Structures are given as C-alpha cells and as structure tokens.
Structure 1
C-alpha cells in the first residue's frame, strides 16, 4: 500500500474563529449543514451555530438562509452557561429528528482512514473520558467534541489502557494515582489502587493475565502490583532496588509470563503469573538486543515487541528474550519515529505504534513497512495531545490514550487484511 498524504483535518472547514474575526462572507447554507461549513459549530436543520460565545439561529422554515440573514439570539461571550447548555442539549436531542429539511435522515458521516476514494481500513468509534461513556450516545460525543465541550471528564493524566476478556476497560492515571475500570456489565466506573494501605503513586503500565489477575506498574514506588478483578491487592513484585523504573507491561497467556519493561535499567524482566522472577534480557546500547530507555511492550503470537524509544525503533524477540528482528529509525516523516510510546497488534498482525511527538499512531505490516498514519495535534476527533498507551482487543477495537486531552479515543480496524 502506498503511504498516503498527511491525513487532513477531519473537521474539514470547521474552524475556531477568534473574537476579532468578522462574520464569514455571504454564503447560502444547504440544509443540513455540518462538516463543510465555515461556521464553527452547526446543529442540523436548525441552522444554529455558536459564534464567539453567541447562539445564532436561522429561520427554521428556510433552508437557504444566507449568512447575512441570520438572527442573533445570544448576548455576549458571558451568556448564561446553563442556558447555553440547555440550548445545546435541546438541539442535540432534536438533531436525530431534524437533521435535515423535510424528511432527510442523514447522519453524521463516518470518520474513516484512508479517506475516500481509497478503501477504508479504520474508522472512528467512540471517546472515553468519564461517566458519560455509559450515558451518552456516539452522536452526543461527536457533538461535544465539535462544540469544544469538556464536561464529565474523569481523567487528569491517563497513560495506559487495557481491556479484559469481558470487555471491561482499564485506564491508568498517573496524576490521580489510580486505575479506572469501566465495567461494561454494571455500566459503572470503579477504581483500583486508591484504597487501603498499598496505594498507587504513579501507575503506568497495565496487563491482564488469563488467570484474571490485573498487573499494574508503579514507576514511583518501583514495583508491580497484582490485583484481582474486584481491585483487591494480591501481591507485589520487586524487592528494594530490583526495578529502577517499571513502565510497560505485557502478559503472555501461552507461557503465563509477565514481561516488565524497566526503562531506566534498559532491560526487560520476566516473571511468572505468581510474581516469581524468571530472567531478564537486554542492556543499554544501540546494537541488536540492546535498549536505550525502552518504554512499552506487547506480546503477540509468540513474539515480544519492545518499543526502544530513544533508539527510535521497535525490537522483536522470542518468548525467551532472543533477538529476532527490528524496524524503524529516528526521523520526522511518515514511517519514522520521533518519540515512540505505545504498541499493539491487531488480529491481522498489523503493528500500531503511538508517537507522542507526532501526535499520531502509525500502522506497519509484519515486515515493519509503513502503511499509513492517523492523527495530528489538536483536541478534535483523531487529534491528540501527547498520546501514550494503545490497546487492541479481540474485535480489533483500537484504544488510544490521549494524555493531555484527558481521554481515550476508540477506533476499529474494518479492513479484511
């Protein structure tokens, strides 16, 4: 597959206009108006917008209202927040019924990559940022992002994400010092590591064992802790000075082994699922099998993939830590790395690498050849601010931690190969 050009701003011409910006030039609106509008935010057949803090509504009976003819019902940027929230909620609710004029039932278009006319391989699915994950529809969340709303945020500085066999989602937060669990059965959020005597101080990596143990790396305490599914502490791994900085975790079900990246020691430590130490591999350097501040790790079909961050590459090993191959190098164009972090593989063997400096994630084939990338800096859909962890579940849903935007964005690989 040829490497596509840089993914465009998926909001197209939807832009944030400064308070000094004049109204856009006269233009007829075709109803419904959404992604191709020069106005910041448009709500279905209402022809309503938010412009510099004002709520602007056009004549509902006319689907070709020029910009000059819209009526201002707002006052100043200091418009009552409750009233604004009410109006936005009202418009969002009726959007499903009045998204276009007459009987039009057009929905918000899918966000897919690569963009048409190429065959779509990945689509945007959802945003996880807090309790609204169980309360809001997908359309509500898209509207919230487009409108710049940030209510209901649970996270402060999320880092890693994992999903268990039942679909529960685990997100570590280094700032709040706990791991959030989005329980899909109970449709509620609970936490791990913020109760009892052994509280987490800086949770980073998460790995879930086939025995239903949840392993969490704490880089400040310099230990790895094991919990049951209810969040009860089972045991800790790591004697004094055993770890310098445990970060990325991966669990291999076939061998019941836990792989722990020790970033500041430039190696990987391996344990069984009861926390017994087995062996290490790697040392500091730039040769094959050597690391320079590795950060993240994953296991897929008998191979261990380690992100060798400062060396700007990914190294691949067998389960015993024997070097197999590598790919990647430092650079500033697609296919290269600047600050690689999270890593995951889908069921087809595609390798996904998050790059915190590029604010995106890139896809590679099994040979390490670049296929495409998704993302750019920003706060919109498929935009990131210092992305970190990534996880792909059995249904090829892709969970990407968007640190500074305090959320997890969810995509899905929809290709056939």
Structure 2
C-alpha cells in the first residue's frame, strides 16, 4: 500500500492534474523563520500545494521554539516555570480564532493552545460536574462555545468561550457519543451505539430528530460511525468503520453520496478516522492504516493526498493520525512558518497518537512564480496522448 502512495509523481499523472485543477485558487506563506528543509506535498517536480509548517507534543516544545526561533512561548495557568504539559494520546482537534483545542484520551485533559497569545493550558472547566472522563472529539460554535463528546460519561459536555463548564446533554438519549458538530441552530451528536446521528436544538438541547438509518438501502446507512464533519451548507459527512466509506447526508438525513471504499489504492481507505470540510467544500479525510490524509472534491473525486508514514521523512510525517481540522483563521500568524514565496490559503491541523509531533500543522498554499494553470494544461495534454496511445 505504502509503495503505491509514495510513487505519486511517477504513476499518478491524472491525479496530479485533478489536484492542481481543483486547488488552483491558491495560497502561500511569507518569509520562513525556521532553519529546516521545506517539506512539500506533492514532492518535486510537481508544483507544491501543501507544506508542513510546524508541530509540537508538549508545552516545552513551544517554549523552545520561542527561545530558538522567537515564535512561541510557554504560558502557564499553574505556578512555576517548570510545569510541562504533555499531549499523551490526542484524538479530536478543533480551532477557534487563534486557539487550538486538543482532546487527550489518556490523561483526561483537554488542552487549549493559543499560539498568538503564547499560552498552553488545560481547559479550566474540566473539574467537578464538568470533569471529562474519556473525551474523543469536539466542536466549537460561532460564539466560541466548546462541545466535547465523552464516551465514558456517555454525554456531550458544553463549555463557554472562557472554558467554563455550562451543561451536559445526552444522558437521557441512551447514546455513546463519539463525535459532535454544531451550526447556528442545531447540535448533531454521532452515536456509535445506534449508528445514527441525534439532532438537538442548539439552545434548548431538545431532541428533534434521529438521522442516518433512514434508507432502505443498507449501503446508504451509517454503520459503526466514528467521526463526523459539517460543511457551511449543513451537509454532514460521516466516516464508517464497517464500509470504510465516508457517507454524505443532508440535515434531514437524506443520502447524498459516499466517498471511497475499502482498499489500498488511491481514493480508497484502510481505516478512515477524522474528517474535515473546508470553505471550498473539499473533504479532508485521515486514514490511520495508510497514515496519510486524502483530499476529495465535492463530487467525491480524489484530488491529492499528503503525509507519509513516519519512516519516510525526517519530520512532518503522520504517525497513527487520528483527527484533522481545516480552517482559515490566523493565517497571518501561520505565514511566518512557511517557506519564502509560499502563500497560505488554509491551515490544516492533524493529531498523531505517536511521535514528537502530536499536533502537526500544514499549510495549503501556492508558490509564487509557479504557473499552475500551464502545468495543468501540459499535464492533461500528456495524459490524453498517453490514453490515445494505449487505445491503439
């Protein structure tokens, strides 16, 4: 499997065309302050579209970057500079403005990392009635409120923008929540025990509907779902263990399509995990078995993949990846991590459960001076000629 994924530029000419055509709208960072070799995906000679920017596993990593690179510093909500907070086995990740939220399934902590404010602390409301027991995934609404799915408490816990505990929901629904999504009106809870989605009113938490098991066609229903994402149009995307597919549903639970299938080829999944949808409607899906992330367009067509198993690159690799989150906030801050001439369009956050980069940060962008349109045209022309030759 890995051999297939590592020969991108040699054997996947058409895939390269689709990648650049769909991602052509661009992005790229400014002057890099890091003394490291740039790691781009896809690798040269293909034009770069994603760059590994930075990563960390504990608060002292961030403090070291501050002293060595004048980028970040350690902020502590406990006494003494010797306090080091460590990400042990992170799973869910989300971001709001400059803050990054990371759920650690082993320690019971939920880390709140603000790179612009130079702080790395634990969620203050994680105590008493708001104490987390086994948090896996999380979401943030447009007001900065945090929603955390806890598979041991069998509830979704809610915290305000300051991190203080507000409420918990789900106990009366007989659920095992593994993920959560939220929009202006609704709270969506992914229930592993019933392989469906509970839809609640965001303000009152009243149970309004249950979706995901409504189709007469078993292939269109959820089956052992693990992760969920919500796009700007209210479309839900759910990763399923049983079928190794990502199922696409509207707010009412109608089946809209699916992405991938079980296998070792491009566009297929071994074991899909975290998923995220960007503002352009592109789906980013983590595959823990292949240890990479794949990007699909709105029609389920594979655009590209990025990340490599840890043995393939010195840094910027994925090592038992769990979740992914794509956003456009704080781009000016992240720009400083990018290579000269590479301008950022989006930031991609990935959690790894092993290694020195428990949170890996990538940037989707465009390199200055590269004619992406011309490259697409030339590559497509070569693809057509090769296809015609093969027909003869």
The TM-score, its normalising length taken from structure 2, stands at 0.71
Q: Is 1:392 the counterpart of 2:322 in the alignment? A: no
Q: 1:189 aligns with which of 99, 111, 120?
A: 120
For 1:250 and 1:329, locate their aligned partners in 2 and report how far apart those are by CA, in whole Å.
Answer: 24
CA contact (8 A) 1:346 1:393 kept: yes
For 1:8 and 1:155, locate their aligned partners in 2 and report how far apart those are by CA, in whole Å.
Answer: 33
Give unpaired runs (5+ residues) of structure 2.
9-32, 70-83, 330-345, 367-371, 374-392
Give the C-alpha shift of residue 322 in structure 1.
1.7
Q: Is 1:180 the counterpart of 2:111 in the alignment? A: yes
Q: State the match for 2:75 in structure 1.
A: none
Q: How many residues align?
A: 306
Give the C-alpha shift of residue 265 in structure 1.
1.2
Give the C-alpha shift of residue 334 in structure 1.
2.1
Give unpaired runs (5+ residues) of structure 1.
10-95, 97-105, 142-151
CA contact (8 A) 2:328 2:347 kept: yes
Q: Is 1:370 the counterpart of 2:299 in the alignment? A: no
CA contact (8 A) 2:188 2:199 kept: yes
Give the C-alpha shift of residue 214 in structure 1.
0.5
CA contact (8 A) 2:232 2:279 kept: no
The within-5 A match list for 1:2-401 is: 6-7=5-6, 107-132=35-60, 134-137=62-65, 154-164=86-96, 166-192=97-123, 194-240=126-172, 242-243=174-175, 245-253=176-184, 256-274=185-203, 275-283=205-213, 287-302=218-233, 303-378=235-310, 380-395=314-329, 396-401=346-351
Change (3 A) 1:155 1:394: same
For residue 383 of structure 1, give the secondary structure of its aligned residue in structure 2. coil
Give the C-alpha shift of residue 5 in structure 1.
5.8
Relative contact order, CA 8 A, sep 6+: which one is greater? 2
Deviations 1:139-193 (A, max 9, x none): 969xxxxxxxxxx6711110011001x2100000010112100123542122125
For 1:127 and 1:139, locate their aligned partners in 2 and report how far apart those are by CA, in whole Å.
Answer: 16
For residue 193 of structure 2, give the secondary structure of its aligned residue in structure 1. helix
For 1:8 and 1:332, locate their aligned partners in 2 and report how far apart those are by CA, in whole Å.
Answer: 14
Q: 1:413 aligns with which of 349, 353, 364?
A: 364
CA contact (8 A) 2:139 2:180 kept: yes
For 2:290 and 2:361, locate their aligned partners in 1 and report how far apart those are by CA, in whole Å.
Answer: 18
CA contact (8 A) 1:7 1:373 kept: no
Q: State the match for 2:389 in structure 1.
A: none
For 2:220 and 2:67, locate their aligned partners in 1 and report how far apart those are by CA, in whole Å.
Answer: 46
Q: State the match for 1:13 in structure 2.
A: none
For 1:214 and 1:226, locate their aligned partners in 2 and report how far apart those are by CA, in whole Å.
Answer: 6
Give the C-alpha shift of residue 257 in structure 1.
1.4
For residue 137 of structure 1, give the secondary structure of its aligned residue in structure 2. helix
Moved runs in structure 1, 4+ residues, more than 3 A? Answer: 136-141
